[in-house]
Each structure stands twice: as structure tokens, then as C-alpha cells.
Structure 1
């Protein structure tokens, strides 16, 4: 993805990746759909000039994306960074 996922620095984020693939796959699908829906809500809020709600929904979309990406990864963050935690 081109960035270091901050979610993977959290113990709970690492625990996500310990789940078996058959549990992770449906979660990824759900989170990707949540991201689309949250982005749509952000656009609606922006159109209504509700900037705080637009920012909230963009944050929801970002966290959903980060979580889905974490579930799709195979190695841990320290392995990707050459052993540096």
C-alpha cells in the first residue's frame, strides 16, 4: 500500500492477523463495504455543509481500510521493516 499501517503497531491489530484465513476473508469484505458506505456518508455530509460529520465519516472509512488491509497481510510489521519494531 505504500505506507506503514499504524493499526499494526497495536497489540489488538496484531491479533487480527492471528485469526485464521477463513475468518479474516469475510471480515475484509465487510470492512471494504463499510469503507464505501462511510465515504458515501462523508460526501452527503459535505454536500450539506456539515464538515465535522464529513470528517468523522472519512475517519471511519480510513479505519475500515486500515483494518481490512491489516487482515490481508501475512507477515508482522516488524518483519516488513527488517526487524525494527
Structure 2
């Protein structure tokens, strides 16, 4: 992503990183799907001129991307 993911400094993110690789991969896939769906909702809201809902869905997409990226990082031994 080109920057230090702020989620990685949170204890809950560290707990996610301690999960087995298979579990992290499954959760990462769901988060990436959530990101895509949230982006679609943001576009629909924007086209309907519903700015606050578009912003909400963009935020959901951003958080989902941050979580997915955190899960893709190799867990430290």
C-alpha cells in the first residue's frame, strides 16, 4: 500500500495476525469482497446524490481494505 498500515499497531490486529495462515486467508478474502461491495454501494449512493451514504460506504471500503492488507502481512514468529 505504500505506507505503514495504522491497524497493525492495534492489539486486535496483532491478534488477527496470530491466527493460522488459512484462517487469515479466508478472512482476507471476505474483507476484499466486502471492499468491492461497499465501493459499489458508494457509487450507487453517489449517483443518487446521497453524499453522506456514499461517504459511509467509502469508509467501509477503506476499513475493509486496511484489514485485508493487515491480514496479508506475514505473521511475525
**How many Å apart are 1:22 and its aligned residue?**
1.1
Residues of 2 paired with 1:9 and 1:75: CA distance?
Answer: 13
> Residue 49 of structure 2: SS of its match in structure 1?
coil
Residues of 1 paired with 2:75 and 2:36: CA distance?
Answer: 26
Residues of 1 paired with 2:49 and 2:29: CA distance?
Answer: 31
Residues 1-85 of structure 1: pairs in structure 2 closer than 5 A = 1-75=1-75
Residues of 2 paired with 1:69 and 1:49: CA distance?
Answer: 30
For structure 1, the 5+ residue unaligned runs are: 77-85
TM-score by length of 1: 0.85
Runs of 4+ in structure 1 over 6 Å off: none
**How many Å apart are 1:68 and its aligned residue?**
0.5
For structure 2, the 5+ residue unaligned runs are: none
Partner of 1:79: none
Partner of 1:81: none
| Equivalent residues, number | 76
**How many Å apart are 1:75 and its aligned residue?**
5.0
